[in-house]
Amino acid sequence: MSARREAVARARAGGKVILLGEHAVVYGSRALALGLGLGAEVQVGFAERTALTLGTERYVMTGSEEEALVAAPARAFCALLEAFGAPPIAAEATLEIPPGAGLGASAALGVALGRAIVQLLAAVGQTPRCALGPAALAWENVFHGNASGVDTAASELGGCLSFRRGEAPRLLELAKPVRLVIGQVEAGASTRRMVEQVAARRAAHPAEVAAVLEEIDVLVEQAELALGAGEHERLGALMSRNHELLRALGVSTPQLDRACQSALREGALGVKLTGSGGGGCAVALIAADAGNEVVDAWRRDGITCWEQRTE
């Protein structure tokens, strides 16, 4: 019992940015995703009652859990523990990226918590009932319904990966480093709602939406080749075309469109919304030797920016 009381584990995980393929990935196409350096940091320990502290919010699971489990983070944490077959655990978590902005904040939390719980169980000789990936996906499904798994895969693996639902993610070798600027243009929309919106459009206009999804699939294949060859101007053009197709699906917004146009005016090689859309973030591909024109322009427009460079 003493070992259990004293055991503590800490872990972190990064968020993600989707370079190409959002929404199409839901229907079996590939997506290209890049793990971010920023994400979530957690600490966990055994407890009499399961509890999750997320920033200023605290969720404690009592004998009567109905009220506590109304909150999605509480339900997600219970799903994560159940997947692992873990006893009651108390966790504290902090986010370094904004939630609901398309940067995989919930996946970063789920993967970081999962990593820490695996460490905690190992400290007392307990083997988790499943691997980290499925447990993190159980967490993610609470927030997004039937999640594709691309967010949790990117958070768990890091790097740049090619992802198709139902297949093992494939890490890509990049011919040269990639430089991105990510901007939070506006508040994000619910991923579940945006996925349902595209599904409704697909049901109403099957041929039109099928053509858009098929072209996105082709863009992803071409972008993977461009990354492997270091053809960043080509990659940028593919990203910008992907944004136009996402507009055709109805998931962009006037603010996202204006941010994309501003980045292109300032010399970005390509730019698009990233994530489910309806708000959230845009991602711009920048030449390695470019200045800070895109960042400066976006910040003048009140957009919070992060820069991400691969090695």
Active-site residues: which are they? 151
Rounded-to-integer distance, Cα 114 and Cα 10, Å = 10
- Residue 289 burial (10 A CB sphere; 0-12, 13-18, 19+): exposed
> Nearest CA to 239 among 38, 22, 14, 25?
22
DSSP H or E run through 273: strand 270-274
Rounded-to-integer distance, Cα 225 and Cα 219, Å = 10
First-to-last C-alpha distance (Å) of the chain? 45
Cα torsion angle, 263, 265, 267, 271, sign:
positive
Rounded-to-integer distance, Cα 206 and Cα 216, Å = 15
Tabulate helix, strand, coil % of the chain (nearest 5).
Answer: 45, 25, 30
Q: How crowded is residue 145: how many other Cβ atoms within 10 Å of its Cβ? A: 13
